[in-house]
């Protein structure tokens, strides 16, 4: 190898392709086994077993209206001029049962949700019948099954409710509760610690001294973790000193996953990578072909998975979305590890300077033609306000150097699930 080529190699180590990096990351993700949680704690967790409806919903035929329950055959030929007259033989409210049959020529008063008495097959709305002297008058024929909610019409016994690997969401709770699932088998969540490194960092409730900034990454990463149903352990901040960082790492070592922000770049105070390497971390990759987010470090140390994230706040978020979120979703047993991506029309052109996968903070909007997306006016890995104005990232592939208005682009919505 020529001296010149050696030189190039030293100053510009290979950037791992994003898709390759994702493969490496996902290969390290293994589920942690099941546990049972109460239904109310199950939201956001991932089912470890298929859930089958053990009983039907509704559990019995019942009335969808307040009215009179009748035998529909009795009402054939009923008209305004010649109403059918049925004898009222009882009343049944929700939660009760009628202890007798409704025979030919009879009707019973019934309330919404009350079980259909034996013999009856339909309900006439209160407003459509007339009651006088113990007699119910019906003025038009009633079709069998009218205003009846059939047993199992919501879900029949034996049907699949949710399959293993699906995340339990708010919309599932009612059904699961209705079917009596007081507890559910879910995958154990990994324990995850968050550590922010940097001598410039102060806590968000502290005043700024010269040269200092607030630690926003710690809070944002913790919130992103909570959104995945993981309760993070926030270790706060560590200044860029070997002993301080080492001490925090000892604390972090009890967790399954360690997220460290800052200190993984090439600066002389970027100690995290060096410390971890000295402590015996197995590095699977360092630096990915992505912008922002290039300095990402990934590996294992003492059996724990470590993500070393760039300190720039937007880089940090992008790395979370592209790598950490799919990793954790897979660890949590979720079948679909990717956050839903959509396609949208660009409203303006985009130029890239390097052949890296690039993510742009952007505003995704609904317009006449469908979805449109506009990059925020400012782009930069440290632009917190650009992120605040965004509801999505535009993802531009490595090879694409320019995009024009009305081109269709891939969009990663925030913080959709
Ligand atoms: P680093 O990755 O340590 O080189 O940091 C890159 C940039 O991100 C620097 O401008 C840092 O001040 C900033 N930064 C690092 N950590 C944080 C943090 N926890 N919150 C906000 N900004 C940070
Ligand atoms: Mg730093």
Which are the contacts of 401, defined by CB distance < 8 A and separation ≥ 6?
351, 352, 355
pLDDT score of 369 = 79
pLDDT tens across 106-142, in order?
A: 999 999 999 999 999 999 999 999 999 999 999 999 9
What b/e sequence results for 292-304 when a residue is b if at least 16 CB atoms lie within 10 Å of its CB, and e otherwise?
bbbbbbbbebeeb
CB–CB of 66/112 below 8 Å?
yes
Report which bound ligand comes closest to the CA of 384: 1
Confirm or reject: Cβ of 310 under 6 Å from ligand 1.
yes
Query: How far apart, in whole angstroms, are the C-alpha atoms of residue 411 and residue 375?
Result: 11
Looking at the chain, the domain(s) classified CATH 3.90.105.10 span 34-51+163-187
Confirm or reject: Cβ of 312 under 6 Å from ligand 1.
yes
pLDDT tens across 233-284, in order?
A: 999 999 999 999 999 999 999 999 999 999 999 999 899 999 999 999 999 9
Domain 342-413: which topology? Beta-clip (2.40.340)
pTM: 0.91
CA 262 to ligand 1 center in whole angstroms? 5
Per-residue pLDDT band at 12 (split at 50, 70, 90):
low
Per-residue pLDDT band at 1 (split at 50, 70, 90):
very low
User: What residues does 308 pair with on adjacent strands?
Assistant: 260, 297
Confirm or reject: Cβ of 213 under 6 Å from ligand 1.
yes
pLDDT tens across 355-384, in order?
A: 999 999 999 999 987 999 999 999 999 999
pLDDT tens across 178-212, in order?
A: 999 999 999 999 999 999 999 999 999 999 999 99
pLDDT score of 5 = 43
Q: Is the confidence at residue 86, as pLDDT, over 80?
A: yes
pLDDT tens across 271-286, in order?
A: 999 999 999 999 999 9
Confirm or reject: Cβ of 146 under 6 Å from ligand 1.
no
Confirm or reject: Cβ of 261 under 6 Å from ligand 1.
yes
Report which bound ligand comes closest to the CA of 200: 1
pLDDT score of 410 = 98
Looking at the chain, the domain(s) classified CATH 2.40.340.10 span 342-413
Class of domain 62-149: mainly beta
CATH of 34-51+163-187, one of 3.90.950.10, 2.40.160.20, 3.20.20.70, 3.90.105.10: 3.90.105.10
Looking at the chain, the domain(s) classified CATH 3.40.980.10 span 18-32+189-331
CA 410 to ligand 1 center in whole angstroms? 28
CA 311 to ligand 1 center in whole angstroms? 3
Looking at the chain, the domain(s) classified CATH 2.170.190.11 span 62-149
Query: How far apart, in whole angstroms, are the C-alpha atoms of residue 361 and residue 380?
Result: 9
Atom 17, ligand 1: residue with shortest CA distance? 311
Using left for φ > 0, alpha for ψ between -120 and 50, and beta otherwise, residue 92 falls in beta
Q: Which CATH number describes the domain made up of 18-32+189-331?
A: 3.40.980.10
Query: How far apart, in whole angstroms, are the C-alpha atoms of residue 270 and residue 240?
Result: 7
Atom 11, ligand 1: residue with shortest CA distance? 311
CA 263 to ligand 2 center in whole angstroms? 4
| Residue of 262, 296, 314, 317 with the most ligand 1 atoms within 8 Å of its CB, for mutation | 262
Average pLDDT, rounded, for the chain: 95
Atom 10, ligand 1: residue with shortest CA distance? 312
Which are the contacts of 192, defined by CB distance < 8 A and separation ≥ 6?
225, 230, 232, 233, 255, 256, 257, 258, 259, 328
Q: Enter the tokens of residue 80.
A: 């305004």
If you search the block for the tokens 């029309």, which residue do you land on?
Answer: 345
């Amino acid at each position: 190898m020529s001296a010149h080529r050696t030189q190039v190699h030293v100053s510009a180590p290979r950037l791992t392709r994003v898709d390759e990096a994702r493969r490496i990351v996902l290969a390290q993700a293994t589920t942690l086994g099941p546990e049972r949680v109460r239904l109310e704690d199950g939201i956001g967790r991932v089912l470890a077993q298929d859930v089958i409806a053990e009983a039907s919903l509704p559990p019995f035929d019942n009335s969808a209206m307040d009215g009179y329950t009748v035998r529909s055959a009795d009402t054939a030929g009923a008209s305004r001029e010649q109403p059918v007259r049925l004898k009222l033989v009882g009343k049944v409210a929700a939660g009760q049962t009628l202890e007798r049959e409704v025979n030919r020529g009879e009707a019973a008063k019934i309330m919404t949700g009350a079980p259909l008495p034996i013999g009856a097959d339909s309900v006439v709305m209160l407003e459509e019948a007339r009651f006088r002297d113990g007699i119910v008058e019906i003025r038009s024929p009633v079709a069998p099954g009218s205003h009846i909610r059939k047993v199992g019409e919501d879900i029949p016994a034996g049907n699949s409710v949710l399959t293993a690997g699906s995340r339990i969401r708010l919309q599932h709770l009612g059904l699961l509760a209705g079917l009596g699932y007081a507890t559910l088998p879910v995958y154990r969540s990994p324990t995850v610690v968050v550590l922010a490194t940097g001598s410039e960092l102060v806590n968000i409730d502290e005043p700024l001294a010269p040269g200092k900034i607030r630690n926003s990454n710690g809070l944002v990463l913790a919130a992103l973790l909570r959104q995945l149903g993981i309760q993070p352990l926030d270790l706060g901040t560590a200044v860029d000193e070997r002993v301080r960082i080492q001490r925090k790492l000892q604390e972090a070592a009890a967790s399954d996953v360690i997220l460290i922000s800052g200190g993984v770049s090439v600066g002389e105070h970027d100690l995290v990578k060096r410390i971890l390497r000295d402590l015996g971390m197995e590095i699977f990759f360092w630096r990915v072909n992505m912008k922002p987010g290039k300095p990402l470090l990934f590996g294992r140390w003492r059996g724990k998975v470590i993500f070393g994230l760039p300190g720039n706040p937007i880089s940090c978020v992008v790395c979370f979305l592209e790598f950490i979120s799919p990793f954790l979703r897979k660890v949590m047993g979720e079948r679909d590890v990717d956050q839903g991506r959509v396609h949208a029309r660009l409203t303006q052109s985009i130029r890239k300077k390097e052949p890296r996968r690039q993510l742009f903070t952007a505003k995704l909007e609904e317009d006449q033609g469908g979805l449109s997306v506009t990059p925020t006016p400012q782009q930069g890995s440290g632009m917190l306000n650009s992120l605040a104005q965004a509801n999505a990232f535009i993802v531009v592939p490595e090879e694409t150097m320019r995009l024009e208005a009305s081109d269709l682009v891939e969009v990663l919505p925030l913080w959709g699930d």
